[in-house]
Structure 1
Amino acid sequence: MIAYITVGADDLARAKRFYSAFLPALGYQLKEGPAGLSFSLPVKPGQSPVQPDFYVKPPFDGRPASAGNGSMAAFEARSQKQVRDLHAAALLAGGSGEGQPGFRADYGPHFYAGYLRDPQGNKIALFSSNPNEPGRDG
């Protein structure tokens, strides 16, 4: 199980604006601290933490942050409409498009995804695989 994902950011205010445009709608709560931004899913009393957490932090080595080639974090939405809405909100919040929301032929008939880059260049996917919605072939 993946416990957490961390992406680097040189401008935490820009990163906060971008990630706050869609992660709260997916249930993530933001905690800010001197080390950066921490997004996590809420934990009910007596419940184990829901993972993974998602962290946005300046690099520990003090050098500029850079996006990993081939690296991507994917967040699951509840529906195709939510993918479209959150993709649009993230673009308005400083992201750049990396693939409009839609079905992807290389994946299952219900895999609906939109791709973005955050202001630092990290690749982000928003997707839904809801079997109760129309699929690519229907």
Structure 2
Amino acid sequence: MIAYITVGADDIARAKLFYSAFLPALNYELEEGTEGLSYALPVEPGQSVAPPEFYVKPTFDGRPASAGNGAMVAFEARSQKQVRDLHSAALAAGGSDEGQPGFRALYGPNFYVGYLRDPQGNKIALFSSDPNEPGRND
């Protein structure tokens, strides 16, 4: 199981504006520290394993942060509408579009996804795959 994911950022305030535009709507809670941002889902009573945390931090080696080629972090939304709403909110908060929300031929008929880049260039996906919503072939 994945315990945490970290992306680098040179401008933590700008990264906070971007990630706080959509992660709280997905129930992530923010903790700020001297070492950056930590977004975590609450641990439910009786839950034996904590969900993965998402960190946004300056680089440890002091060199400029850079996005990984082929690296992407995906966050699950509750609905197709939420994907659209959060994609728009993240764009308004300094992100750039990497693919408008919609269905993709390469994925299953209910996989609805929008792609973004954060201000540092890290690729982010927001997706929903609810089988109760209309699918690609409906």
TM-score by length of 2: 0.97
Q: How does 1:1-138 map to 2 (within 5 A)?
A: 1-138=1-138
Tell me the CA shift for residue 52 of structure 1: 1.1
Identity in percent: 81
| RMSD (Å), alpha carbons | 0.9
Q: How far, CA to CA, are the matches of 2:94 and 2:43 in structure 1? A: 30
Tell me the CA shift for residue 50 of structure 1: 2.9
Q: How far, CA to CA, are the matches of 2:106 and 2:46 in structure 1? A: 40
Residue aligned with 1:2, SS: coil
Q: How far, CA to CA, are the matches of 1:94 and 1:58 in structure 2? A: 18
Q: Which amino acid aligns with 1:32?
A: E
Which structure 2 segments of 5+ residues have no match?
none
Q: How far, CA to CA, are the matches of 1:48 and 1:63 in structure 2? A: 37
Residue aligned with 1:84, SS: helix
| Count of aligned residue pairs for this structure pair | 138
The 4+ residue runs of structure 1 with deviation greater than 2 A are 44-50
Residue aligned with 2:116, SS: strand
Residue aligned with 1:86, SS: helix
